[in-house]
Structure 1
Amino acid sequence: MSVLARGLVLLDSLSELGEAGVAELSRRVQSDPSQVHRALRVLQRGAYVEQDPRTKKYRLASRVVELASSYLKRVDIRAEARSVLLHLQETTTHTAHLAILSRSYSVIIDQERGPSANSLDVVMGDIAPLHATALGKVLLAGLDAPSLDHVLARLEYAPLTTHTVLTEAALRAQLAEIRRCGYATDQEEAYRGVCCVAAPVCNWTGKVVAAISVSAPSWAIEQDRFPALAQRVLTGADTLSQRLGYRAREVLASNGQHDPPIDSVVPQAERIK
């Protein structure tokens, strides 16, 4: 193994382990400790790793963060989402959407339309109310407590259909359930005859920056098929989040009294059975 290859393997190992000593890394990369030590010294001189003076263990250092930030700043969420939306549309035969939060609305920034008979009449740039759509609710679930309070206080709970949530208390109850299961649903709450499943998309910091969804006529989705459809949407959201640099996988959970910090709201495909 070349010095460069060994260095890259060590960086990858430290990204998974957090920190480790020479002996542990030697076993991990199956190299002689002296070779690992030399490679670590080279990486340390370049500020790619640093050594804890007390434990003598190594961990990733500032240069790795700088390189990652430089790459992630150039990531175009729409470009990264294209293949995910297309795959969702092809595997479900329904329309897939990508949306972001803007003030008191969700904004559709991309979509992959399903067959005309199954398509929701929404185009890129359209806005939708947060309280009545799966996309809007999953974006709300990603806000920290102060931000959520600010947005909810300004929402107009307009009755769009007979199924629309009409009070802040009812909406907060739905948001708690969204954090528990990891995805949001909209069952004819915004449009009569249309159902939707949405999941959050996170960036490298864990912040929810967008949401993806699949929408379909209510007759096309039986009640017992929602978990299976949610699984596909969650998998797509996970894939897109990873492309944006997100790697950790933690459970959506509230602390029981307040809404969780934004970095605790993450995709959880494995939560859906």
Structure 2
Amino acid sequence: MAERGDVERAPSPAVARTLTVLETLVAADEDLTLTALAQKTNIPLATCASIVYTLEQRDYAARRIVGRSHFWRPTLRLYGLATQLVRKVDLSSVAQREMRELADLLGMPVHIGVLTGASVVYVAKAAMPGFIQFDTYPGKVAPFNLTALGKAISAYLPEEELKPLLGQMAKGEGPRAHLVTKADFVAELAEVRERGYALEDEEEQADIACVAAPFFDSSGHVGGAVGVTGFAKDLTARRRREAQQGLIELAKTISRRLGAPPD
């Protein structure tokens, strides 16, 4: 959540406040009263009221009235916008067959993720065969530094794009999560570039590990990453090597189809 100082330094503080209100509504586990929303966002009550009434007018927020209290929640109009965007950037069609084949080979879901701000957004998935399914779906958002997808992308960002992200690293909830300094994370990204893939092992959450490799667009800029997610106990030794090799080849295929320059 943006601090008040950050909002005031934004090119448009009014827009920054609106986005903060919207993000807070989406992240909340329950509908919020105006007072609670103002407290959570650190925005003056009158300003917060103007924002939510405007969001309601534009159908981005709705309210439930109980007695004299008004409880606010976001609407699915945001989902509609996101769906339109995903359709325009339909990375799932770039290597759908290859994603499916790798998922079948490994018995693990294969994902494509892109970086949006300090978050990775999952935009495509080839689910694994079987009854056990992971809670990784198109539209899921995760902190960039807590997923192999995010690390694989970050490792190839220009310095001017990476630098602002280093101040927004999140702490994971997994047993191997630890507070990483900027220097530590930059050093880890150097290792990712050296080997060509990224790893995450029980950092975001317990029992889950992932591997990912970056792909590039026609300008040579990192366009996203492709990765697999599995149980940490399964994604070891031979299986991890198979995942690494398969993902690097799949990333090369996606890069080639996006028109990336050789190498």
Q: Do the aligned residues in 1 keep the contact of 2:91 with 2:124 (CA within 8 Å)? A: no
1:166 is aligned, of 176, 179, 182, to 179
For the pair 1:208 / 2:225, whether they are aligned, the reply is no
Matches within 5 A, 1:173-192: 173-192=187-206
- Describe the shift of the 1:200–1:220 C-alpha distance in structure 2 as closer, same or farther (beyond 3 A): same
Cα RMSD for the two superposed structures: 1.8
Partner of 1:134: 148
- Describe the shift of the 1:112–1:186 C-alpha distance in structure 2 as closer, same or farther (beyond 3 A): same
2:105 is aligned, of 91, 100, 103, to 91
- With normalisation by structure 1, the TM-score equals 0.60
Partner of 1:237: 251
SS class of match (2:255): helix
For the pair 1:151 / 2:165, whether they are aligned, the reply is yes
Letter in 1 for 2:211: V
C-alpha distance after superposition, 1:199-245 (max 9, x if no partner): 00111221111110011111222245423320011111111111111
Unaligned runs of 5+ in 2: 1-87
SS class of match (1:111): strand
Letter in 2 for 1:175: L
Partner of 2:136: 122
Greater Cα shift, 118-127 or 221-230: 221-230
Matches within 5 A, 1:1-273: 76-116=90-130, 118-155=132-169, 157-167=170-180, 168-223=182-237, 225-249=239-263
Q: Do the aligned residues in 2 keep the contact of 1:186 with 1:195 (CA within 8 Å)? A: yes
Aligned length: 175
Per-residue deviation, 1:115: 3.3
Partner of 1:27: none
SS class of match (1:108): strand
SS class of match (1:191): coil
Partner of 2:35: none
Per-residue deviation, 1:154: 2.6
Partner of 2:6: none
- Describe the shift of the 1:165–1:200 C-alpha distance in structure 2 as closer, same or farther (beyond 3 A): farther
Separation in 1 of the partners of 2:94 and 2:224? 12
Q: Do the aligned residues in 2 keep the contact of 1:131 with 1:165 (CA within 8 Å)? A: no
Letter in 2 for 1:191: Q
Separation in 1 of the partners of 2:94 and 2:239? 28
Query: 4+ runs of 1 displaced by more than 6 Å?
Result: none
- Describe the shift of the 1:224–1:86 C-alpha distance in structure 2 as closer, same or farther (beyond 3 A): closer
C-alpha distance after superposition, 1:7-31 (max 9, x if no partner): xxxxxxxxxxxxxxxxxxxxxxxxx
Q: Do the aligned residues in 2 keep the contact of 1:142 with 1:208 (CA within 8 Å)? A: yes
Q: Do the aligned residues in 2 keep the contact of 1:187 with 1:195 (CA within 8 Å)? A: yes
Larger Rg: 1
Per-residue deviation, 1:194: 1.1
Separation in 2 of the partners of 1:186 and 1:223? 15
- With normalisation by structure 2, the TM-score equals 0.62
Q: Do the aligned residues in 1 keep the contact of 2:207 with 2:231 (CA within 8 Å)? A: yes
Letter in 1 for 2:242: A
Greater Cα shift, 182-191 or 74-83: 74-83
C-alpha distance after superposition, 1:148-198 (max 9, x if no partner): 11111233x323212124222221121010011110011111121111110
